[in-house]
Amino acid sequence: MSGYGTGTPTSTGSPEDAFDPMGVLFSMEAAADPLPHYAAIRDRCPVAQTRSMMGDAADNWLLSTYEDVMWALRHPEVFSSSPDAVNIGQEHNLIPLQVDPPDHAKYRRTLDPEFSPKRMAALEDDVRALVGEIIDRFVANGSCDFHEDFATPMPSTVFLRLMGMPQSDLPQFLEWRDNTIRPDLDPNDPDSAQKIREATGKAITKYFENAIALRRATPDDNLLSRIVHAQVDGRSFTDDELLGICHLMLLAGLDTVTATLDCMIAYLAQHPDQRQLLVDHPELIDGAIEEMLRTETPVTVVARVVKQEHVMRGCALKPGDGVTIGIGAANGDAEFVDPHKVDFRREGNRHLAFGAGPHRCLGSHLARMELRIALEEFHRRIPEYSIADGTTLMYSPAIRQTFGLPLQW
Ligand code: HEM
């Protein structure tokens, strides 16, 4: 998702082309094997002037070092995430993502308790049971398409149950998600992609107008209803605010954990020693999740717009300039000892995969719980697996998920 930021895949071009950092960042090659590409961008142009991540020619900057990325994320007075930062066809400001401090804090005060570690821990048994049921569907086959059969249904089902929305709506949500994040179009046609995003935004508004009205009339104890009836700053949310929250939840809740599961299982399937380490030492799973969030960073970029003039490494950023913040690139920087080594026992892993500063991910406790249970149960039931013979894995840029992940065991 984007506030998260969507991406337009591009080719890296021929060797004699001028270095195109945005082209490299959003290339299929970088999506498949990002760390060396991030290193090339950081080394050649840590603050790069580029076209925008939506593919248009607007003035835009790409930040890729840990220091600059952390600074930008922590200084929303300079790097704003207002709706000018990115347009994914939303009809209402995505809340809390597209609200700058100080207003931002009031939304987080209401929403944070709904995603607290304690509340997420209460979901664990249900999530473990669900994961078991999903694995039951394919374990005896000796194969599955992990992306289709596990990584897509698992977090989506958890999210729909949490929100109190019918499972039968899932195909519709997945279509909206894909049309927003990776519309199936010629990557060099950003205008058509934007039209699809806008039509999708309208459809999402219509769906949630009905869903919100229903919860207003008939409250229940699920998350959507709780938000509809919540207080913010001593008042109820307006309809526009609720629609902005729901739109963001839908994109955040459906795509990110799917992408992360794809990245992690694809890595483990291709690194049998590391997979075996987790099978033999499940107590390393928490550390492995943090390390793979760092080295695989599924949400590779987030978007900002410059609010006040700022000079970074000698480059003058002007108000209105777009900024693509490379959190994946930052996670491969020399801030980390031996940054390209994947070390499940790494200490002090201050990765930026969930962002940093005021907009740090609201759903990180939910995501971590889902990832832990998924990895625990999958490796308990299917300790040995590999990528199916003859497969060439392809990843989508920007939010890295696989286009299919066939496994065999
Ligand atoms: C492994 C999975 C996930 C990853 C990698 C991830 C990553 C991120 C990142 C990088 C940001 C910062 C965006 C920015 O600064 O512009 C963010 C924000 C956010 N995430 Fe997540 N996310 C994940 C899962 C979730 C889930 C499951 C939810 C909830 C259902 C969620 C809800 C949000 C929300 C609402 C924000 C905006 C917070 C704010 O603006 O204050 N995320 N996430």
Would 270 be classed as within a structural domain?
yes
Q: Residues 238-280: pLDDT tens digits?
A: 999 999 999 999 888 889 999 999 999 999 999 999 999 999 9
Confidence of residue 189 (pLDDT cuts 50, 70, 90): confident
- Cβ(385)–Cβ(405) under 8 Å? no
Would 6 be classed as within a structural domain?
no
Spacing, Cα 364 to ligand 1 middle (Å): 7
| Domain of 361, in residue numbers | 21-394
Q: Residue 13: its pLDDT value, please? A: 36
Spacing, Cα 249 to ligand 1 middle (Å): 9
- For the chain, the average pLDDT equals 92
Identity (one letter) of the amino acid at 65?
Answer: T
Where b means 16+ CB within 10 Å and e means fewer, 134-157 reads bbeebeeeeebbbbebbbbbbbbb
Spacing, Cα 25 to ligand 1 middle (Å): 21
Q: DSSP 3-state assignment of 99?
A: coil
Single out the residue of 72, 76, 68 nearest to residue 103, CA to CA.
Answer: 76
Identity (one letter) of the amino acid at 145?
Answer: D
Q: Residue 2: its pLDDT value, please? A: 31
Which atom of ligand 1 lies nearest, measured to the CA of 253? Answer: 30
Q: Residue 352: its pLDDT value, please? A: 98
Would 4 be classed as within a structural domain?
no
Strand (E) positions, 108-242?
143-145, 231-232, 235-236
Which has more confidence, 87 or 394? Answer: 394
- From CA 56, how far away is CA 59, in angstroms rounded? 9
Backbone angles phi, psi at 324, to 5 degrees: -100, 120
- From CA 326, how far away is CA 53, in angstroms rounded? 11
Spacing, Cα 354 to ligand 1 middle (Å): 6
Would 11 be classed as within a structural domain?
no
Q: Residues 138-176: pLDDT tens digits?
A: 999 999 999 999 999 999 999 999 999 999 999 999 999
Any idea what the CATH number is for the domain that residue 109 is in?
1.10.630.10
Ligand 1: residue whose CA is nearest its atom 26: 363
Would 5 be classed as within a structural domain?
no
Q: Residues 73-116: pLDDT tens digits?
A: 999 999 999 998 988 778 889 999 999 999 999 999 999 999 99
Spacing, Cα 2 to ligand 1 middle (Å): 9
Q: Residue 15: its pLDDT value, please? A: 43
Q: Residue 181: its pLDDT value, please? A: 82
- From CA 234, how far away is CA 77, in angstroms rounded? 26
Ligand 1: residue whose CA is nearest its atom 41: 359
Percent of the chain with pLDDT over 90: 84
Would 283 be classed as within a structural domain?
yes
> Is the Cβ atom of 261 under 6 angstroms away from ligand 1?
no
Handedness of CA 150, 156, 162, 165 (dihedral sign): negative
> Is the Cβ atom of 5 under 6 angstroms away from ligand 1?
no
Identity (one letter) of the amino acid at 349?
Answer: N
- Token pair in block for residue 276: 């075996």
Pocket test for ligand 1, best of 75, 114, 245, 361 (most atoms within 8 A of CB): 361
- Cβ(328)–Cβ(34) under 8 Å? yes
SS3 letters across 130-161: HHHHHHHHHHHHCEEEHHHHHHCHHHHHHHHH
Q: Residues 121-133: pLDDT tens digits?
A: 999 999 999 999 9
> Is the Cβ atom of 3 under 6 angstroms away from ligand 1?
yes
Give the Cβ contact number of residue 129 at 10 Å.
12
Q: Residues 275-290: pLDDT tens digits?
A: 999 999 999 999 999 9
Would 102 be classed as within a structural domain?
yes
Residue 219, pLDDT > 90, answer yes
Which residues, listed in sequence order, are joined to residue 305 by a DSSP beta bridge?
A: 80, 322
Would 407 be classed as within a structural domain?
no
Give the Cβ contact number of residue 111 at 10 Å.
19
Spacing, Cα 353 to ligand 1 middle (Å): 9
Number of domains in the chain: 1
Confidence of residue 54 (pLDDT cuts 50, 70, 90): low
Q: Residue 403: its pLDDT value, please? A: 95
Which residues, listed in sequence order, are joined to residue 14 by a DSSP beta bridge?
A: none
> Is the Cβ atom of 162 under 6 angstroms away from ligand 1?
no
Q: Residue 11: its pLDDT value, please? A: 33
Residue 56, pLDDT > 90, answer no
